[in-house]
Structure 1
Amino acid sequence: MDVVAREAKREAARASRREPKQDRSRATRRRLLEAAVACLAEHGWAGSTVSVVAERAGVSRGAAQHHFPTREDLFTAAVEYVAEERSTALRALFPEGAADRRAVVAALVDLYTGPLFRAALHLWVAASNEEQLRPRVTELEARVGRETHRIAVDLLDADESRPGVRETVQGLLDMSRGLGLANLLTDDGGRRDRVVAQWATLLDETLDRPAP
């Protein structure tokens, strides 16, 4: 057991002595979800077993299976949980909306350049090869995609009843995903900044265009 896992286990033991049973259960579930995403991002699907996640979270395998009976349950719940956390954090960056569209574009792009995107990518690849996982990941991706689109529309103050606006917002999200893929292999920060600036200009032109 590595140092991180030992410390997690000690912290879990300390927390269990302090917290009521219901709070301990919620805390255990949260640790498992966060550990699952971290393992998936670092080790991929093949290297992310329930036992590995449980050890990283500082809980027993039995406790992990109590919360998530199957491996598929654990990892789809983990990606959804962190996606929801990131969505909440994204909205919190602009509590009153954002006049600076470049800042919004940059924040959306950042969603696709961190551990969550890397974890989700491993899950997508696994789902393409595993029949029992595919429908769950497909449904999850659709749900997360819809929520991200709604957030983008709100933050950009985009009127999707106007021609081309919906497609432009979706194009922004597709572009952001592409930048995230490029970032997996190399630090693409310089080009990413230029693309963000260009997309902010395109959004200004499209969203501020007078209605016909």
Structure 2
Amino acid sequence: MRSATLAAVGERAGYSRGIVTHHFGSKQALFQALAESSQSGFVPGIGDMPPGLDHLIALIDGYIRRLRDGAVAGRAFLLLWVEAATSPELSAVFQERDDRFRADLRTDITAGIAEGEIRVEADPDATAIAILGQLRGIGMQQLLAPAALDSPRLSRVVADQWLRALRRQPAPSPAPPRRPRRG
């Protein structure tokens, strides 16, 4: 990505050399727009769900399933995300995207705690970091060895793992009163 120029991007896309510069102005702005568009709506069908445990589990399940769909935008996002580790111009863009993703995850966790769905001792910050790390790691595996991932099965396993880890267990029923012994 470091060697990419706006002119080369325009040519590769079949447009004039200046069209990308005209629309985006800089590589930073182009990468920002690509990151935004590739992540927005990545998991369809959960936008109307209220924040909480159900939304969180649907997001985890949908994210993993979408990876297998081979969506070009998702693949582009992950490739750029990897590149961001060593590219200062991409680093800020993807750091901001991950900050937003963690914030969304924290919102679900915090709402789930408030609703009594998620254990009160669950740490929203640490849990959001762990979930994001797991999802990005699965995304990397999908890029490197797509045939090795059975996304439907994996999405169920991972969603179930987080459900069991976070779900608040109901309080045990009180024991029935003991009857005094006669005799």
Question: How far off is 1:70 after superposition?
Answer: 1.3
- Pick one of 64, 73, 90 that aligns with 2:20: 64
Q: In proportion to residue count, which structure has more helix?
A: 1
Which secondary structure does the structure 2 equivalent of 1:164 belong to? coil
Aligned equivalent of 1:206, options 166, 170, 176 = 166
CA distance in 2, matches of 1:194, 1:183: 11
SS of structure 1 residue aligned to 2:112: coil
2:87 alignment partner in structure 1: 130
CA distance in 2, matches of 1:117, 1:57: 18
1:175 aligned residue: 134
Question: Which of 62, 70, 80 matches 1:107?
Answer: 62
Of 173, 190, 202, the residue aligned with 2:150 is: 190
Query: Are the counterparts in 2 of residues 168 and 203 from structure 1 also a CA contact under 8 Å?
Result: no
1:90-144 Cα offsets, whole Å, 9 max, x none, are 424xx34696986553213235554344323332343333334433432333234
Conserved 8 A contact 1:50-1:61 = yes
Q: Is 1:141 paired with 2:98?
A: yes
- Gaps spanning 5+ residues in structure 1: where? 1-44
Contact 1:158 1:165 (8 Å CA) reproduced: no
Residue identity matched to 2:60 = V
**1:138 alignment partner AA:** Q
Counterpart amino acid of residue 131 in structure 1: P
Q: Contact 1:79/1:120 (CA < 8 Å) preserved in 2?
A: yes
Q: Which moved more, 1:78-87 or 1:191-200?
A: 191-200
Aligned residues: 162
Matches within 5 A, 1:24-173: 45=1, 48-55=4-11, 57-86=13-42, 89-92=44-47, 95-96=48-49, 104-113=59-68, 114-147=71-104, 149=105, 153=108, 158-159=112-113, 162-164=120-122, 166=124, 167-168=126-127, 170-173=129-132
Q: Is the 8 A contact 2:10 2:16 kept in 1?
A: yes
Which is bigger in relative contact order (C-alpha 8 A, separation at least 6)? 2
Cα RMSD of the aligned pairs, angstroms, is: 3.8
Q: CA deviation at 1:184?
A: 1.3
Q: Which entry has the higher C-alpha Rg, 1 or 2? A: 2
For 2:86 and 2:127, how far apart are their aligned partners in 1?
32
Q: Deviations over 1:56-86 (max 9, x none)?
A: 5554232221121112211122111221232
- Matched letter for residue 120 of structure 2: R
State the one-letter code of the partner of 1:107.
G
Tell me the TM-score normalised to structure 1 length: 0.56
Matched residues, percent identical?
24
For the residue of structure 2 that corresponds to 1:60, the secondary structure is: coil
CA distance 1:121–1:158, shift in 2 (3 Å): same
8 Å CA contact 1:172–1:199 kept in 2: the answer is no
